[in-house]
Structure 1
Amino acid sequence: MEDTINIRVEGMTCDGCSSRLKKQLEKHPQIQKAEVDHVNGIAMIAGEVTEAMVAEIVEATGFTYKGPDVVN
């Protein structure tokens, strides 16, 4: 079952940062698509994903995982 999660990411400062994180996320076989916005510090990930899996990829890429993005 495919899920979509939105997360907060800290430490991205430019398009290169968001592109690098997007590429690393999409390398994972369970992630079908990722969109990363460095300006707002948000990433949208679609696939058979868990929060722990995404957090591990974010941290391994050199950024700080800040948890789910909660929309009010």
Structure 2
Amino acid sequence: MAYVITNLCKDEKAAICLDVCPVDCIDLTDTQYVINPSLCIDCGACELVCPVEAIFHEEDLPAEHESAILIATNYYGS
């Protein structure tokens, strides 16, 4: 997985990230957007446009948001 969307997106859902993702690897769950870890090409386009700064590179993910990795991997079953 390269990029992760945290629960900071939960109330925003601006969806600008969907427009800039070149591989369409972002989907909406019941509560927030998630990035498919198998499809993400690590381009960073989504992180740059997020209005609430909810997207982090996995290596830079703050400890308090580590559950976002589990949410994405469970959603995509990977």
TM range (shorter): 0.3 to 0.5
Indicate the structure with greater strand content.
1
Give the alignment's TM-score, normalised by structure 1. Answer: 0.43
Give the alignment's TM-score, normalised by structure 2. Answer: 0.42
Indicate the structure with greater helix content.
2
